[in-house]
Each structure stands twice: as structure tokens, then as C-alpha cells.
Structure 1
């Protein structure tokens, strides 16, 4: 990730979380603490009001008057961006075609994983939007999560499951709140499964801070957890192989999609991504988001479902 991306994530994290330590920022951005201090210096030089609170319970914080939201493109702006990627090619004299394609792929990925909605592109380049809904806005949820962490209180969350397409009540001890790849996530102990898991804040319909008290085990390390568990998809029942052409192969190779993923380079510049999932539904919209640049090799069941989706879209248009 570039320095600019790190600086933006730092600003957003400080804006929403408030007082945050250098260690937390370093673990979230996967850099060392010295780099965090250099980033803070860079932000101050850019007149962004980041301050330091010294002492045992100190850290960095940003003026409450300062506010920055992640930019959100309109549908027309997205369409223009996609069209430009088709027009600006090396054949037409545009020498940065490869870089533009990578940038467009990254932006498409961010919109697939938006905090407020799940988007994907159909074959015509149009966006289809599936609202997962939110009875509480993002700022309210972030505020309550931070309050629960500061007081050591367990959360009761009403969580949307894409696999089961329903809402379930989950009891979670929030250990940390991180901003990754355009979305907010809770890292915390999930009572039902008796282990630490990741929960996407955008899938929380509503939450409640309970009176139950918890303490983070001294053996827990955010860095170790992220190193071992951070991935977009998880599971082990169904083997899935997807072929990505050379236009998006670098993006696939640079991402972390599954804890036990396998990526095979092919002679034509494309790659084969092999992962395992318990359910197939959660990956369909992600694959469709790559349009013609992705092809499901197996299982046949998923390939047929993608085919039916495309046929439905074709008839609709």
C-alpha cells in the first residue's frame, strides 16, 4: 500500500476512533512505529491537526472540527471512469494503460466492499446495488463500539449474514476496531464459536452495549491475528478455482483473499486463484465485479450460477 493510502487510512481512523496509540496504528497499517511517527509528521506539515496526548493512556488524536469523509463516486462518474479505461489504451497512444487498468480494478473492488452497500458490475458495466440496510448510521455504530471498548463492555449485535441471507444476534467482546480496504471491522471474541473473529461494521443492523464486563487476554496480539486470519473469504468445504486475465492479475496477486489461497501464474500473464469456501453465495457478486476479466473454472455449480446471472442480465437489457 502506498504512503498516500496509509495517510488517508490514518486520518479516517483518527477521525472516527479518537485517541489511538502508535502501536494500534502500526498494527493496522502493518508498518513499524517509527513509520507512524513519520506519517504523523507528514500530516502536521500538511496542516492536518493531529495532536499527541502523553502519558500512560496517551496516543494521537485529531481536532473534532476537522472532518473528512471517503469520497464516493456517483454512478455517472463510475461509468465515465470505466469507459475511459476502455478508450485509453496503448493502441490509442496512452502509455499508462496498465496502470489505469490496475487503478480501475482497485476502485471497483472498493465499491464491491462499500461500507453502506454491496455493489457489483454486470456485463454491460452497469452497477447493481443490493442494500443490506442499516438502522444505525456509521458514526453512531463507531461511537458505541469505541465506548464499549473503552469501558470493557460486551456488545450484542444484530448481524447480517450474506451466506444465510438473514440477521442473527451475536454476542461479541470488541478487542479492536480497524479500517481496512475502505471498510470498518470489529476484531473481537465471539461467544458462540469460542474464538476471535472479524465482523464487518456495515453488516451490523444495530448494536447494544451490554453491562457485561470483559478483559482482553494478555495473549492476544492484533498483529498476529491479522497475519494469520485477515482475508476476504474463509472456509474449507468447497474448492473454487477462478481464472483472472492479465489485466487484473497483479491486483489478484497483491491481495489477500483467503488464509490458504493458492495463486498459479500462467504463461499468457493470467493467474489461477484457488480458495476454499463453506458457501458459494458470498463470492458470486465479487466475481461478477470483475466482468469479463474473470472466469470460474470450478466448481461447475458456481460456474452455472454465474452463467444464469449473466443470462438474466442479458435478457433484461
Structure 2
């Protein structure tokens, strides 16, 4: 039996007992979990050993299980114990926000949750943490940009223009821009400002950590009626913008499984071929970002269309090969 299955069952048992006023029998729990009652008894025993105050009582000729004094450990919020436990357990997943006021507030929230949960519940969550953790992923340290992030967020809420000195990574240049910040957007461990750029006369994305200087203006702007961030970003294969392009990529059998198991883009279609390869199709904004995605798969990916993407990948491979010439 997988360790994850056991922990999942025990979590569901806790949730079920907390939600039940009268308690539940082992048979009822087994029906809920679609397992044998002997399995439920083993899980109940394990939870008792972990310190959960479980008890049983005979009611109407059957033995029902409950959690003792569950209603004494409540926060002044519409959250039950299992929701609080889930919130506390998620703290490691939010480490990418370190260095922001958001993370500081979350840390204070988690401290309050911890103070509210009974000691045996904290011990159980710590036990869960020993078998389930969040792996390290590259992230940006936002300590240096906390003030700018706060200013941008306030300007967006108050619908005030901002004047920024922005470093363009592609042009390797610093430019002055006046921006109407529509929304602060977090994607792939990076905070972005989505707003109308006076310099480009179009809606653009600006990485907060590339804003060298920011001044909030007294000038107000009106948010375009019906503007939707998700709709604006839908065509992107990440954050890059561009003209809509229909792409078709063949992935070899060696990597086909990795491609098929994820939703990479809202418009994607994936068709499995007789040889085990897959054909990936999608309509994306521009080719720059999907070019890097194709290169990530090495020889396992072959661009079929459009020709512009195919040539861009060939050119990039050529430049890479030159770097390794001796």
C-alpha cells in the first residue's frame, strides 16, 4: 500500500469525523473511503497513536467514532479544523513569495493558525511534512523590491499612473515609461505589472524586479471596460506577446508521455500516432517563448509548422553548436 494512500485516507477520516455531529461508524467510514473496515480500524488506531483525541461510543446498537472537543479549537473565521490544517500545511508552497509584504502577512497568518490548532494536530502535520515536501525551484528574491511592489499595487488599486525607469532585458537598455497599471500579476515566480504603456501605446507586461525607479503620479486613469487579464494572457505560451500563430510540433515516443500528461496551453490538441509519438498543436502568441520550450526537449521535438518557428529553432541550434566548436 502506498504511503500517500494511507495519509490521504487518514486526512479524509479526520475531515469526515469533524463534519459529523453524531460521529461515524467504521463501516460508514469504509463506505465513504471505498475500502475495507479493517483498513479504517488501522487508520483510526494510527491517528490515536499520533495524539488525536478520538473516542467511540455505542449509539443505537452501533459503535460511532468522534473527535473529542473539536468545536473548542475554532478561529473567528468560517474555517473548520481540516481547512485550517490544509492552510497551515501549504506554508512551504508559498516560499516563492519570500521578501514580499504578502509573505510577511502569510507568515503572521500561519503563526495564528498554529496557535489555534491543538498540539496533536500540529504534530500530525509535521509528520505529514516528513513524507511530502515542496522541492526547490529558482525564484527571485524580492526583498529589494518590496517598496516598489507595494507602490505598484496601491497605484493599481487607486487607478493612478506610474512613471518608471524600466530595464528591458531583450534590448539591454533603460527606458522611461508612463504606465497605467491595470493589474499586478504573479506568474512563474515573477511579479508583473500588466498595464497600458504610453511609450508603446499598447498594453504591456513589466517585470517588477526590472523597475529601477518608480514614481506614483496624481493623474488618474480609467480601467478599460471589460478588460480581462486571463483573456489578455490566454494566447501567450507564458508571458510573451505577439501575433497569433498556429504551431504543430512532433514529439518522439521517448518524450511523448511527458507532453501528454500536462495542459501546456488552453488551445492545445495532442494526437497520439501509431509509432507512439504525439502531434502537439496550439495557437500561441508569437514564436519566441515556444521556441525555448521546443529546445528544452532537445532531439525529442521536431517543429512541423510554422516555417518561421522551424527556422528560428534551426538558427538557435546552429548558434549553440558554434559555442561547442573546438
**Could you state the TM-score of these two structures normalised by the residue count of structure 1?**
0.48
Which structure ranks higher in relative contact order (CA pairs < 8 Å, sequence separation ≥ 6)?
1
Report which of the two has the higher share of helix: 2
Structure showing greater Rg: 2
**Could you state the TM-score of these two structures normalised by the residue count of structure 2?**
0.47
